[in-house]
Amino acid sequence: MKRFARTLPFVIASFAAVPLLDIPSGFAQEQLKDIIPKANNKADEKLRSVQLQQQVKPAFLIKPLVHRLQGRKGQLLKFEFSIEAHERASRLEIRPVAMKQQDNGVIMPDEKALAPDLIRVTSEASVDLALSEEHIIRGEMRIPQTIAPFLSYGILVREIPRDNEPNGGATDEARVGIRFVTQYLLRVDVDVLGVKGDSVAALQLQDASFVEQDGRCMARLFVNNPTDTAMEFAVDCQLLKNDTQAIGRKFGLVVPVRAGQQPPDRYRARILAKTRLRLEEFLPHPVFPGEYTLMAELSHEGRVLRKVEFPVAIKDGDFPGQDARVVRVAQDITVEPPRVELSLRKGGRRIESISVRNESLQKVLVKLAPVRLQGDFHTALQLRPNEFELPAGQSRKVIVSVDSKREITEHGYAFAELTVSPEVGEAIGTHRIPVALLTNSESLAKLVPGDLTWTLSNNRAGFSVPVRNDGLRHVPLSGRLSLTDEFGRGLVVDGGYGTWLLPGQAESLFFGFREPPPPGTYQVQVRIDQNEGEQPLEMTQSIRLESQLEQLAPEPEKVSGQPADNN
C-alpha cells in the first residue's frame, strides 16, 4: 500500500479509506484540512497531487472567554457564556476542568487532575448546535472560606466529532483527512472582597538574572507559588549599585503571555496553584559592565509585601545591541547616539544632535573638539556648544553640523572627541564619536566577507564572520544567521546591530548563542546587509558539531559569499 507523510505534528496517514483523524488544537481555534490524493482504484497509478480542501476556520465562537467577577466569602455567583455555531453544525461537551500554567503564563486545561467542585455548569453538559444557532452556557460558583484575594476556575468546551459528517468527495476516492478539533478553555476569575491579600506574600521570588535578547538587556525572574490557590500580583524592580545607589528608574516585570497588552494590565500577573512562572522585561535604561544588585518588590494592589535582592553581574560585550546605541564615556557618563550621519543630499539632514547624560553624583566639565579621521572633513565639522558644565542627574544636547561655506565633494569622516573632567582635576574619560558626511558622490561601500568560523567571544559561543569594507562609504554592519538541524528545526540570531564599518575598516560580525547548540549536523546561512537597495550577501555552509565543547567541523561543501537571490 502506498503511503504519504504530511509535515504535520504526529500524523502519518495511509491512503486507505479511513475516517478523519480528530486531533485537538490550541484553544479557541480550529483547523480542518482534507488531503485528497487524486488516484483511481488501479493499484499501480501514481499519486498526482495533494489538495487542501478547506481553510482554517473555527467551528464555533464563544463570548466572553474570561469572566471577571467580584464577591464576598460564601456568596453565590452566577455567570453566562454565549456560543454560536460559526462554520458548521457542532456537538459540544461542556464541563469544569482543572487548569495548569506554563512558565510563560499560558493557561491550559489539566484533564489528568481532578476537576474543581466549587464551580458548576447548570445548563446542558452536551449540546448539538445547528449552523448559526446560539446557545447559552450557564453556571454558578460559591466563593469558599479563603484567605486568598483571587480565585480562578476553568470550563472546557470541546467539539465532539461526528462520524457521519459528509466529506464532499467521491465515495470511491481514496482519501485521508486531518481535523483539528475546536476547543475553548473558558475562565471565571473572582476578586474576593474583604480579603487583604496577605497570602500573596507566600509567593517565592527566585533566580533573578540578566539575559541578552535581541542584543538588549532583559531582566528575568521566576515566581513560585507553593500554595493551593491562584494569586494575582505584581513585581517591580530597581537596579542598585553599591547596595544603595539607584541606577535608572524602577520598572515592572511582565509575564511573557501578557507582553502585548497595555499598562496597567500588562504588569498584572496571575499565577495558578503549584506553578513556577517566568517574568521579564527589557531594562528602560542602558547598563554597563560591573557588579549590581537587582531589588525585586512583590506587591498586591499597590501594597508592597516583600523585597528580595539578587546579585547580578554584567561583563563587557554582554549586550551588543545596547552598545550599538549608547556608549559610556566615564563612570555614569553616557552619550548617545554613538555615531552621527550628516548629509548634503536632497532630503538629508545637515544638522544632528548628540545627548550627554550625567548620572553621577557630581558636576562634570564636558569638552568637545573635531578630530581628523579620513580626509579634511574635520575642518568643516562644527560642535555647539564645545564646552559646558553638566550638573549631576542632568543631560545636555550638543548640535553637530557642517560649515555651509565649505565645498565638499566626497564622503567625509571625522571624530567628535568628547572629554569629561571633574570640576577640579584631570580628565576621567574620553570617547571619539564617528561623524560621517554624505555628499552627492556615487561612491558606495564594498563588503568583503571572510570565512565563517565557530568562536568564543566574551564567554559566549557563536559564529564569527570577518568583514572588510573596501569601498569609499561607511555601512551599518548588520546580519542574520539561521541555523537549521537535520529535522528542520531552526534558530535565528542577529549580529552587528548597525555598528558602522568605515571605509578601509575590518570588523568581526559575531552571532552569539546563549547556549551552544547540541551535537549534530547543521545548515548555516548568513545574510549580511550591504548598501541600501542592494541584495544582502549570503553565505551558506554545512557544519557538524561533535560536542558542545568542541569546535564545529565543516562538511565538504563550498562556502559562497554572493548576494542573496530572493527570486
| DSSP assignment of 469-522 | E-SSS-EEEEEEEEEEETTS-EEEEEEEEEEEE-TT-EEEEEEEESSPPPSEEE
Nearest CA among 439, 527, 535, 415 for reference residue 477: 527
**C-alpha count within 13 angstroms, C-beta hemisphere, residue 38:** 6
List of residues 6+ apart from 1 with CB closer than 8 A: 14, 15, 16
Average pLDDT over residues 510-523: 87
Looking at the predicted structure, is the pLDDT value of residue 173 above 70? no
Burial class of residue 209 in the structure, from the number of CB atoms within 10 Å of its CB (0-12 exposed, 13-18 middle, 19+ buried) = middle
Average pLDDT over residues 447-473: 89
List of residues 6+ apart from 354 with CB closer than 8 A: 335, 336, 337, 340, 397, 398, 400, 416, 433
Least confident stretch, 42-46, 326-330, 360-364: 42-46
Looking at the predicted structure, is the pLDDT value of residue 147 above 80? yes
Q: Are strands 460-469 and 506-513 parallel, antiparallel or unpaired?
A: antiparallel
Which band of pLDDT confidence, cut at 50, 70 and 90, is reported for residue 426?
A: confident
Average pLDDT over residues 171-191: 79
List of residues 6+ apart from 526 with CB closer than 8 A: 452, 463, 465, 479, 480, 481, 482, 511, 538, 539, 540
The b/e string for 389-404 (b: 16+ C-beta within 10 A; e otherwise) is: ebeeeeeeebebbbee
Average pLDDT over residues 234-240: 97
Q: CA 256 to CA 267: how far, in whole Å?
A: 10
pLDDT at 171: 56
Looking at the predicted structure, is the pLDDT value of residue 180 above 90? no
Grid coordinates representing 472 are 569609499
Least confident stretch, 162-166, 194-198, 246-250, 316-320: 162-166
Contact 213, 320 (CB under 8 A): no
pLDDT at 164: 55
> Domain coordinates of the chain in residue numbers?
60-192, 198-314, 324-438, 447-563
Q: Give the rounded distance of the alpha carbon of 381 from its chain centre.
A: 40
Contact 137, 123 (CB under 8 A): yes
Grid coordinates representing 499 are 555598528
User: What value, to the nearest 5°, has the Cα angle with vertex 500 and ends 495 and 505?
Assistant: 105
User: What mean pLDDT, rounded, does the chain reach?
Assistant: 85
Burial class of residue 163 in the structure, from the number of CB atoms within 10 Å of its CB (0-12 exposed, 13-18 middle, 19+ buried) = exposed
Contact 340, 416 (CB under 8 A): yes
Q: Are strands 76-85 and 60-63 parallel, antiparallel or unpaired?
A: antiparallel
Q: Are strands 327-330 and 290-300 parallel, antiparallel or unpaired?
A: unpaired
Least confident stretch, 108-122, 293-307, 503-517: 503-517
Is there a common fold for 198-314 and 447-563?
Answer: yes
DSSP codes, 61-106: EEE-SEEEEEE-TT-EEEEEEEEEE-SS-EEEEEEEEEEEE-TTS-
Peptide bond into 264 cis (omega under 30): yes
Which band of pLDDT confidence, cut at 50, 70 and 90, is reported for residue 10?
A: very low
List of residues 6+ apart from 33 with CB closer than 8 A: 8, 52, 53, 54, 56, 177, 178, 179, 180
pLDDT at 26: 39
Least confident stretch, 4-18, 240-254, 344-358, 386-400: 4-18
Least confident stretch, 213-217, 430-434, 464-468, 550-554: 550-554
Looking at the predicted structure, is the pLDDT value of residue 6 above 60? no
Least confident stretch, 3-12, 60-69, 272-281, 437-446: 3-12
pLDDT at 476: 96
Looking at the predicted structure, is the pLDDT value of residue 78 above 60? yes
pTM value > 0.75: yes
Looking at the predicted structure, is the pLDDT value of residue 31 above 80? no
Q: Which residue has the higher pLDDT, 163 or 487?
A: 487
Tell me the pLDDT tens digit for each residue of 531-561.
989 999 999 999 887 764 444 444 433 333 4
Contact 84, 130 (CB under 8 A): no
Average pLDDT over residues 501-519: 90
Q: Which of the following CATH numbers is that of domain 198-314: 3.40.50.1370, 2.60.40.10, 3.90.180.10, 3.40.50.300?
A: 2.60.40.10
pLDDT at 544: 87
Q: CA 186 to CA 96: how far, in whole Å?
A: 9
Contact 322, 216 (CB under 8 A): yes
Residue 201's φ and ψ, nearest 5 degrees, are: -65, -15
Average pLDDT over residues 241-265: 92
% residues pLDDT > 70 (the chain): 83
Nearest CA among 540, 565, 537 for reference residue 555: 540
Q: Are strands 475-485 and 327-330 parallel, antiparallel or unpaired?
A: unpaired
Task: Give how far Cα 88 sits from Cα of 118, 165, 167, 320, 429, Å.
Answer: 33, 10, 13, 52, 71
Beta bridge pairs of residue 466: 508
pLDDT at 405: 82
Average pLDDT over residues 37-59: 51
pLDDT at 77: 97
Looking at the predicted structure, is the pLDDT value of residue 97 above 70? yes
User: Domain 447-563, what fold?
Assistant: Immunoglobulin-like (2.60.40)
Contact 176, 109 (CB under 8 A): no
Q: CA 399 to CA 382: how far, in whole Å?
A: 8
Contact 340, 400 (CB under 8 A): yes
Superfamily of domain 324-438 in the CATH hierarchy: Immunoglobulins (2.60.40.10)
What would be the CATH architecture of the domain defined by 60-192?
A: Sandwich (2.60)
Q: If you count DSSP H runs as helices and E runs as strands, how many of each does the chain have, helices first? A: 1, 43
H or E segment at 322? helix 320-323
Contact 98, 116 (CB under 8 A): yes
